């Protein structure tokens, strides 16, 4: 029987063990697999149980899962074995789920072939057999993620009507954009608010994180912004990040907040006002600087979007995402481009905006990008820009002026701005557009 070679018992057990280890891992596989992708019935049952725990925001752990199967001796025994399983080698989540999906798809194809053969033996009309093959093969393709999600399709009568309704409703308000306003008026006029996939690129010390944080703080104050912002930080610790957020929001210097002293009553009032804002809105989620792989990062995004109503995700910065085993020999920019593509797939499917911070190396910066601007002057940035909707480069020109260059803009033309960079309060303001 071919079925006996189109499954892998140990692979299924390993995946279940990984899922049992954390909610983030459960989120990763729950988003990519269905219980029927498992070949063994008991494995299907445990997988469904883990997904239920995640779906209804319960703790994902051995004891919680065990309580779901009280009285089922066979499941409890198997669950104990899986909980104690120690993989012989590090598990690559992406490879594991793709391999399991491959087995599942081939079993489905095999079942379809058998059904067709049975119908032929019954002397079923050939046209009926063909229709059966077309119908069933479409289901296989869809479950294997080979087809686009049909819910994302709009026919001409739908999209023309939608645009016409916008036109008939009158002009937009001055600050009404498709994306959340960054709070930088001149920039928003060009970008039309935050785009789907946004990349901020610069060498160390040129304000990449500062720009991302300024956007985050500004958006958090928008009355029309609902939901939360997830700031996945791989560089600073959580407390450093929190102080920067409060400095930007209040206008009180980072050092004053760090030293727990205020030079005037005005500063105390400004700080308290910012503090009360975040206590009331509760719309920024900060993470610690623990190294994470791309698969774990995507799982975290899935979990926070599902459980915490996250609408915007920030990754700071891309180069600090821990490499998977197969990525160690990849070119730096090729790896970053791959990361953005994968992240884009996840955030687009979830319907959230993505802000990605990417670091340039000093060599490339000194060779031309920093002096003159221009997309692609640093090796690899052109490739990275192809997968985003907005690409912003920060640099210092020959006159020692800080420049923000909007080098790719899906909603308009490229342009440059002179910016003010205040390190004490961690704020960036746009002064004027450069011709």
Is 293's pLDDT higher than 50? yes
Does 171 or 350 have the greater pLDDT score? 350
Q: Are 23 and 303 in contact (CB under 8 A)?
A: yes
Q: Are 197 and 389 in contact (CB under 8 A)?
A: yes
Global pTM value: 0.63
Coil, helix or strand for 427?
A: strand
Is 171's pLDDT higher than 90? no
Q: Which two tokens stand for residue 104?
A: 């599942």
Is 421's pLDDT higher than 50? yes
Place of tokens 């899986």: 82
Phi-psi region of 145 (alpha: psi -120 to 50; beta: other; left: phi over 0): left
Instruction: Of 54, 20, 50, 57, give the one whose Cα is nearest residue 35.
Output: 50
Q: Which of the listed ranges 21-25, 213-217, 388-392 does the model predict with the highest average pLDDT?
A: 213-217
**What's the burial of 276, exposed, middle or buried (CB within 10 Å: 0-12/13-18/19+)?**
exposed
- How far apart are the C-alpha atoms of 193 and 411, rounded to whole Å? 9
| Residue 325 main-chain phi, psi, to 5 deg | -60, -40
Q: Which two tokens stand for residue 238?
A: 């959580």
pLDDT in tens, 205-250: 888 999 999 999 999 998 888 889 999 988 888 888 999 999 999 9
Q: Which two tokens stand for residue 264?
A: 């005037």
Instruction: Of 261, 352, 349, 279, give the one whose Cα is nearest residue 315.
Output: 352
CB neighbourhood size of 298 (10 A): 25
Q: Which two tokens stand for residue 213?
A: 């944080």
Is 392's pLDDT higher than 50? yes
Partners of 417 in beta bridges? 404, 433
* pLDDT-based confidence at residue 200 (cuts at 50, 70, 90): very high
Place of tokens 């920060």: 394
Q: List, in order, residues 6 or more apart from 302 with CB less than 8 Å away.
A: 27, 28, 30, 31, 346, 350
- How far apart are the C-alpha atoms of 308 and 37, rounded to whole Å? 28
* pLDDT-based confidence at residue 364 (cuts at 50, 70, 90): very low
Is 300's pLDDT higher than 60? yes
SS (H, E, C) 380-416: CHHHHHCCCCEEEEEEECCCCCEEEEEEEECCCCCEE
* pLDDT-based confidence at residue 370 (cuts at 50, 70, 90): very low
Q: List, in order, residues 6 or more apart from 24 with CB less than 8 Å away.
A: 296, 299, 300, 303
Tell me, rounded to whole angstroms, the distance of Cα 291 from its chain centroid: 16
| Residue 82 main-chain phi, psi, to 5 deg | -65, -40
Domain 2-143 has CATH 3.30.930.10: no
CB neighbourhood size of 182 (10 A): 23
- How far apart are the C-alpha atoms of 274 and 135, rounded to whole Å? 58
Does 326 or 187 have the greater pLDDT score? 187
Q: Which of 32-46, 80-94, 341-355, 398-412 has the lowest mean pLDDT?
A: 80-94
Superfamily classification of domain 185-434: P-loop containing nucleotide triphosphate hydrolases (3.40.50.300)
* pLDDT-based confidence at residue 356 (cuts at 50, 70, 90): very high
What is the per-residue pLDDT for 101? 86
Coil, helix or strand for 303?
A: helix
- How far apart are the C-alpha atoms of 208 and 132, rounded to whole Å? 55
Give the helix/strand (H/E) hosting 325: none
Domains of the chain, by residue range, sit at: 2-143, 185-434
- How far apart are the C-alpha atoms of 179 and 181, rounded to whole Å? 6
């Amino acid at each position: 029987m071919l079925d006996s070679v189109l499954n892998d018992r140990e692979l299924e057990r390993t995946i279940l063990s990984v899922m049992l280890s954390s909610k983030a891992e459960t989120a990763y596989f729950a988003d990519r697999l269905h219980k029927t992708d498992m070949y063994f019935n008991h494995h299907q049952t445990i997988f469904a149980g883990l997904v239920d725990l995640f779906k209804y925001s319960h703790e994902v752990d051995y004891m919680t899962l065990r309580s779901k199967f009280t009285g089922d001796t066979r499941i409890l025994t198997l669950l104990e074995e899986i909980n104690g399983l120690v993989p012989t080698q590090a598990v690559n989540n992406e490879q594991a789920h793709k391999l399991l999906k491959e087995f599942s798809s081939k079993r489905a194809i095999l079942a379809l072939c058998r059904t067709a053969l049975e119908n032929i033996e019954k002397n079923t009309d050939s046209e009926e057999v063909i229709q059966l093959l077309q119908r069933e093969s479409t289901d296989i393709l869809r479950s294997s993620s080979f087809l686009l999600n049909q819910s994302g399709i709009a026919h001409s009568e739908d999209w023309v009507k939608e645009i016409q309704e916008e036109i008939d409703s009158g002009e937009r308000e001055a600050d009404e954009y498709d994306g959340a306003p960054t709070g930088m008026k001149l920039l928003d006029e060009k970008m039309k608010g935050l785009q789907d996939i946004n990349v901020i690129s610069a060498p160390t010390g040129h304000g990449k994180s500062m720009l991302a944080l300024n956007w985050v703080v500004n958006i958090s104050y928008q009355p029309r912004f609902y939901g939360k912002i997830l700031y996945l930080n791989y560089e600073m610790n959580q407390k450093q990040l929190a102080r920067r957020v409060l400095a930007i929001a209040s206008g009180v210097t980072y050092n004053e907040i760090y030293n727990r002293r205020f030079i005037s009553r005005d500063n105390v009032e400004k700080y308290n006002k910012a503090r009360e804002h975040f206590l009331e809105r509760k719309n920024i989620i900060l993470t610690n600087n623990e190294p994470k792989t791309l698969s774990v990062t995507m799982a975290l995004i899935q979990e926070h979007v599902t459980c915490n109503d996250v609408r915007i995700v920030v990754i700071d910065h891309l180069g600090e995402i821990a490499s998977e085993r197969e990525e160690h020999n990849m070119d730096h920019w090729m790896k970053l481009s791959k990361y953005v593509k994968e992240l884009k797939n996840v955030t687009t499917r979830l319907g959230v905006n993505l802000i990605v911070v990417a670091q340039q190396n000093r060599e490339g910066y000194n060779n031309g990008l920093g002096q003159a601007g221009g997309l692609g002057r640093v090796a690899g940035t052109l490739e990275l820009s192809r997968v985003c909707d907005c690409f912003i480069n920060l640099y210092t020109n020959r006159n020692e002026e800080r420049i923000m260059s909007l080098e790719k803009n899906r909603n308009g033309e490229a342009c440059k701005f002179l910016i003010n960079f205040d390190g004490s309060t961690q704020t960036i303001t746009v002064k004027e557009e450069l011709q």
